Each structure stands twice: as C-alpha cells, then as structure tokens.
Amino acid sequence: MHTVYLCIGGNLGDRLANLEETLDFITFNMGEIEATSSIYESVPWGMQSTDNFLNQIVRIQTELTPLQLLEEIKELEEYYGRERKPGQYLSREMDVDVLFWNDEVIELEELAIPHPRLEGRRFVLLPMNELAPDFVHPVSKRKISELLGACQDESKVTFYASV
C-alpha cells in the first residue's frame, strides 16, 4: 500500500458537489481515503478568471502504481470536461494533482512527484498544513509547516467548510 496526498479542486459548476463526487470516485477507483482537509476557497492562481476555486487535500492508501493512478485521474478529469492547453491554466470543474507518493521522488515523463510547484502555492500548502504539518517534503527536507511559513504566494486563501 502507498500513502498518497492529492489536491482536488475546481472553479466551475457546483464546486462543492464536484468535490463530494470526486471523493466518491477516489474511494471507488483509487483507494481508501484516510483523511481530508477542510475545504478552502482561493482566487485563481496563474490565470485570468473571476471564478474562485474550492480546494481540498486528500490522503489515500492505494495499491495502484503512479501511472495507474494518473490514468484514473485523467478519466475523472475527462468526465468533468477538463481541457488542457500547453503552458496555460484554464478554468475547470475538477482538477486532481498528485502531491506526494509516500516519501518518494518519482520522475516520469508524464508525472513528477512531489508536485514540482506545490511549494509556491498557498492554496495547496494551507490545507496540506492542516492535514499533515509535520510531513517532510522529500526533496527540500522541510516540513509542510515550514514551507507554508516561507511561501511567497500572497494569494487570498480562506476557510470555506469543514468536512
């Protein structure tokens, strides 16, 4: 079994219902959900949009390989109509990012774990800090709480709902 942290979220449609449906999909297709953070609302990061995101961190136990998990994520995002344009962030109903895989560093053509941009994203670090403040980033060797304290991202991220 592997311990995996995912960031789920979106800024289109019924954002709260999409999160709930995604948790069901994760349970059915990816593995057992061990814990979830509260839900946070944030302004769009790295894109022009007036639609705020809802985001949540999910810790799962999975028997899947990283590439099998990625295929499940792609299936879920396709269900929600996710569109991708190289070098550009777009509004979406659902996005799932793999943040951590155990305490491993994985470099594949399709997937980099830990997520290469998580240290600069307050909307990821704040809920991750709620869930696992003492988790040590396997590359920087710093705790999530330290990464949050050092984060230069000043984007507005606010508590939205407990789960």
What local confidence, expressed as pLDDT, does residue 104 receive?
96
pLDDT at site 86? 63
Per-residue pLDDT of the chain (163 residues; tens, 9 = 90+): 999 999 999 999 999 999 999 999 999 999 999 999 999 999 887 667 778 999 999 999 999 999 999 999 999 998 887 666 566 566 788 999 999 999 999 999 889 999 999 999 999 999 999 999 999 999 999 999 999 999 999 999 999 988 7
Angle of the 15-29 helix axis to the 66-79 helix axis, nearest 10: 140
Compute the distance between CA of residue 12 and CA of residue 28 in angstroms, rounded to an integer. Answer: 23
User: Which residue ranges make up each domain of the chain?
Assistant: 2-161
Alpha helix (H) ranges present in 88-143? 122-131
With contact defined as beta carbons under 8 Å apart, do 99 and 7 qualify? yes
pLDDT recorded at residue 53: 93
pLDDT at site 47: 63
What is the SS3 assignment for 96?
Answer: strand
> DSSP state, 102?
T
Architecture of the CATH domain 2-161: 2-Layer Sandwich (3.30)
Residue identified by tokens 């996710």 is: 82
